[in-house]
Structure 1
């Protein structure tokens, strides 16, 4: 879960496929993460083979008797508890990766998985979140803010807490691995034919989304899947060797789309890594020297008031402080 405390050095993580895919690259895993905007069959089939679904939602305390699924204290797979705030994104990733058979990983992750083998979830969570290299990988795209608002007398506001969990198939059933729960949650078996485990997972996630108010945007869904580029390249070479130009042309378009997406991720991640405080300071100094800082501030206030007014007409809450 993401809170607003220091969390022993673990920083907040964006629910962004580029961020998760970069983490997977650091872990030496040949998988990527893609946004999933729909749970319909066509959207899911286009991402196959799909290993897990990572679900982000606004956390609210709910009575235990309203929980769907059943606790499985004997779950034999990899499951780690979340013992510090803000680590839930990486915990969700590890809880997924640890349950994918024969998955190739980097040496550091392989050693961590082997070391924590047969540990209980609480101890495993303590070991995982004590790993310096893993925390650094987690924080690499979500650096701490260099701007402090302490001492300005601003009113304290309670921020919403968001949390990542993972849904995946294991031993013929769909499981929910939530680091804040004492055990893995079993959501029942699934039919191996047709969509397989995804059909059951869709039902569970849709039921969970239905507990939010209509039109709520308090959640997002990411798909953990094989990196499609190697398979596309191999298939393209096969078609080109066979002289099948039409099929080859279609694959070239798909490859260009995937490469464009990676280039966008790289650009966005480079912006996340960069500290823009110096640039902002220089721009403010330049505006002040030119006598344009005060007019810019007044214009910003006007724009914000207009946004607040528009939000109120739409019935949305927006803090004016």
Structure 2
């Protein structure tokens, strides 16, 4: 969950597949994370096998939290790994670990193996403390979410309370769908998953869609990602088999998919390099150049106009959505 400051030493994290995939790489885990824009079977098919869903949402307190949620119950006999969130801003990495350390026979790097062994037998609170005390994990978490280099403190502006967003995971453990939320006292059991068909994904879709339905229509206050196997080894094996059998048409299709995967990773690498870079020097140089050329005031005024237009557009959109929701309630 986010907070207004970063005094915990853990920085805010973007809900971005490139960021999460880089974190998994640092942890020595051969899995990827991708955005999900739909939970339809067709959308999930290309990512199978999927091991967990990472769900980001705007956090609000709820009376249903007392029993675990609208469709689940707290499970004090949860047989897997579960850690509490004990500091602000660590929920992204905590959610990832709550997922990874419940995936059977998962390959992981030596430092993550040591953490798993060290926390074996601890309760959720002690596991949370062990995770957030790990320099290795904090550095991996912060490497793609550097602290803000510009502070507005002392400028006389009125501080406003920002919405808090929070990461949780859904995954199958011991034949049931579990929700692992570091802010809840225990894992939430949403019931048994099917063995045939889509398996646990059908139950996951049901629970997540029911949760999304509690938001006003058209809301963009959540995002969903999937932790899944890296498809490249399988695609490359398929390509070699098709090429050896002389199936040129099918080979061309696999080559296209491999190319798309590589392009995606190149884009992630480029975006992550930008996240690691400190742009303050560039901003200072550009501002100085504008000032020396006498164009700074005009550029600042243009920026003010654009910002005002964006704020007014966002306010109008929010007002329209609120009115539409009210009319639907009246209907």
TM-score grouping bracket, smaller chain normalisation: over 0.9
Query: CA 1:309–1:177 in 2, change beyond 3 Å: closer, same or farther?
Result: closer
* Contact 1:7/1:86, CA 8 A, preserved across alignment: no
Shift of 1:128: 0.6
Alpha-carbon distance between aligned partners in 1 of 2:149 and 2:66, rounded to the nearest angstrom? 43
Residue 139 (structure 2) pairs with residue 146 (structure 1): no
Of 59, 74, 84, the residue aligned with 1:81 is 84
Alpha-carbon distance between aligned partners in 1 of 2:311 and 2:203, rounded to the nearest angstrom? 42
Alpha-carbon distance between aligned partners in 2 of 1:56 and 1:314, rounded to the nearest angstrom? 22
Residue 39 (structure 2) pairs with residue 39 (structure 1): yes
SS state at 2:155 partner: coil
Shift of 1:222: 0.2
Q: What is the TM-score normalised by the length of structure 1?
A: 0.96
Alpha-carbon distance between aligned partners in 1 of 2:199 and 2:15, rounded to the nearest angstrom? 26
Alpha-carbon distance between aligned partners in 1 of 2:262 and 2:274, rounded to the nearest angstrom? 19
Shift of 1:310: 3.1
Of 120, 123, 138, the residue aligned with 1:120 is 123
* Contact 1:7/1:84, CA 8 A, preserved across alignment: no
- For 2:296, the equivalent position in structure 1 comes to 293
- For 1:13, the equivalent position in structure 2 comes to 13
Q: Please, which runs of 5 or more residues in structure 1 have no aligned partner? A: none
Of 189, 192, 211, the residue aligned with 1:189 is 192
Note the 1:134-213 alignment, pairs <5 A: 134-213=137-216
Q: What is the TM-score normalised by the length of structure 2?
A: 0.93
Alpha-carbon distance between aligned partners in 2 of 1:131 and 1:31, rounded to the nearest angstrom? 22
Instruction: Return 204-213 or 218-227, whichever deviates more.
Output: 204-213
1:174-221 Cα distance to aligned partner (Å, 9 max, x none): 000000001010000011100111111111101111111111110000
Alpha-carbon distance between aligned partners in 2 of 1:253 and 1:129, rounded to the nearest angstrom? 42
Residue 233 (structure 2) pairs with residue 230 (structure 1): yes
Aligned length: 317
Alpha-carbon distance between aligned partners in 2 of 1:272 and 1:265, rounded to the nearest angstrom? 10
Q: Please, which runs of 5 or more residues in structure 2 have no aligned partner? A: 321-331
Alpha-carbon distance between aligned partners in 2 of 1:315 and 1:112, rounded to the nearest angstrom? 45
SS state at 2:162 partner: coil
Shift of 1:92: 0.6
Alpha-carbon distance between aligned partners in 2 of 1:316 and 1:157, rounded to the nearest angstrom? 19
Shift of 1:314: 3.2
Alpha-carbon distance between aligned partners in 2 of 1:7 and 1:231, rounded to the nearest angstrom? 43
Shift of 1:315: 4.2
Shift of 1:291: 0.2
Alpha-carbon distance between aligned partners in 2 of 1:306 and 1:199, rounded to the nearest angstrom? 43
* Contact 2:6/2:147, CA 8 A, preserved across alignment: no
Shift of 1:316: 4.4
Instruction: Return 294-303 or 55-64, whichever deviates more.
Output: 294-303
Of 76, 89, 93, the residue aligned with 1:90 is 93
Alpha-carbon distance between aligned partners in 1 of 2:184 and 2:305, rounded to the nearest angstrom? 46
1:135-187 Cα distance to aligned partner (Å, 9 max, x none): 00000000001111111111111011000000000111000000000101000
Alpha-carbon distance between aligned partners in 2 of 1:146 and 1:310, rounded to the nearest angstrom? 28
* Contact 1:53/1:166, CA 8 A, preserved across alignment: yes
1:57-87 Cα distance to aligned partner (Å, 9 max, x none): 0000111357220000110101110000100
* Contact 1:56/1:162, CA 8 A, preserved across alignment: yes
